[in-house]
Amino acid sequence: MRWRATKTPSRHQWDCPVPRQVMTLAPKAKVEVLVRGVTADDDALINKKLPKELLLRIFSYLDVVSLCACAQVSKLWHELALDGSNWQKIDLFNFQTDIEGPVVENISRRCGGFLKKLSLRGCQSVEDASLRTFAQNCNNIEDLNLNGCKKLTDSTCQSLGKYCSKLTFLDLGSCCQVTDLSLKSIGQGCPALEQINISWCDQVSKYGVEALAVGCPRLRSFVSKGCPLVNDEAVTQLAQHCGGLQTLNLHECTHVTDAAVQAGCHALCTLEVAGCTQLTDGGFQALSRSCHALEKMDLEECVLITDNTLLHLANGCPRLQQLSLSHCELVTDEGIRHLGAGAGACRTPARVGAGQLPAHHGRLPRAPGHLPEPAAHRTLRLPADHARRHPQAAQPPAGPQSARLFCTRHAPALGRWRQTPLLPLLRRALVKRGRVLLWSP
Describe the crossing of helices 128-137 and 101-111 by its angle, rounded to 10 degrees: 0
Does residue 234 lie within any of the structural domains? no
Closest by CA to 156, choosing from 144, 143, 168, is 144
Instruction: Tell me the pairing of strands 419-420 and 438-439.
Output: antiparallel
pLDDT given at position 343 = 52
Does residue 11 lie within any of the structural domains? yes
Q: 172 CB contacts (<8 Å, ≥6 apart)?
A: 146, 147, 152, 157, 178, 182, 196, 197, 198, 201
d(CA 298, CA 275): 9
d(CA 160, CA 134): 9
Q: Are 156 and 181 in contact (CB under 8 A)?
A: no
Q: Which domain covers residue 56, as residue numbers?
A: 1-86
Sign (positive or negative) of CA dihedral 150, 153, 155, 157:
positive
Q: In this structure, which amino acid lies at residue 325?
A: L
pLDDT given at position 145 = 97
CA distances from 57 to 5, 62, 99, 436 (A): 20, 10, 28, 53
| Residues forming a β-bridge with 221 | 195, 247
d(CA 261, CA 203): 23
pLDDT given at position 342 = 60
Does residue 25 lie within any of the structural domains? yes
**Does residue 101 sit in helix, strand or coil?**
helix
Does residue 298 lie within any of the structural domains? no
Does residue 324 lie within any of the structural domains? yes
Per-residue pLDDT of the chain (441 residues; tens, 9 = 90+): 444 444 444 444 444 444 444 344 444 444 444 434 444 444 447 888 888 889 889 998 888 788 888 888 888 888 888 888 888 998 887 777 788 899 899 889 988 899 999 999 999 999 999 999 999 999 999 999 999 999 999 999 999 999 999 999 999 999 999 999 999 999 999 999 999 999 999 999 999 999 999 999 999 999 999 999 999 999 999 999 999 999 999 999 999 999 999 998 999 999 999 999 999 999 999 999 999 999 999 999 999 999 999 999 999 999 998 999 999 999 998 888 878 776 554 344 444 555 545 444 444 434 333 443 443 333 344 444 444 444 544 444 443 333 333 333 333 333 333 333 333 333 333 333 333 333 333
d(CA 242, CA 202): 22
Count of domains for the chain:
2
**Does residue 52 sit in helix, strand or coil?**
helix
In angstroms, the first-to-last Cα distance of the chain is: 56
Which of 43, 69, 86 is the endpoint of a domain? Answer: 86
pLDDT given at position 427 = 37
Does residue 228 lie within any of the structural domains? no
pLDDT given at position 26 = 43
pLDDT given at position 437 = 33
Residue 224: count of CB within 10 angstroms of its CB: 28
CA distances from 153 to 23, 237, 343 (A): 35, 24, 50
Which of 53, 69, 86 is the endpoint of a domain? Answer: 86
pLDDT given at position 93 = 78
Q: Are 43 and 73 in contact (CB under 8 A)?
A: no
pLDDT given at position 92 = 80
pLDDT given at position 349 = 42
Does residue 24 lie within any of the structural domains? yes
Q: What is the maximum span of the chain, computed from C-alpha positions, in angstroms?
A: 89
d(CA 321, CA 348): 7
d(CA 45, CA 138): 36
Which of 69, 86, 103 is the endpoint of a domain? Answer: 86
Does residue 406 lie within any of the structural domains? yes
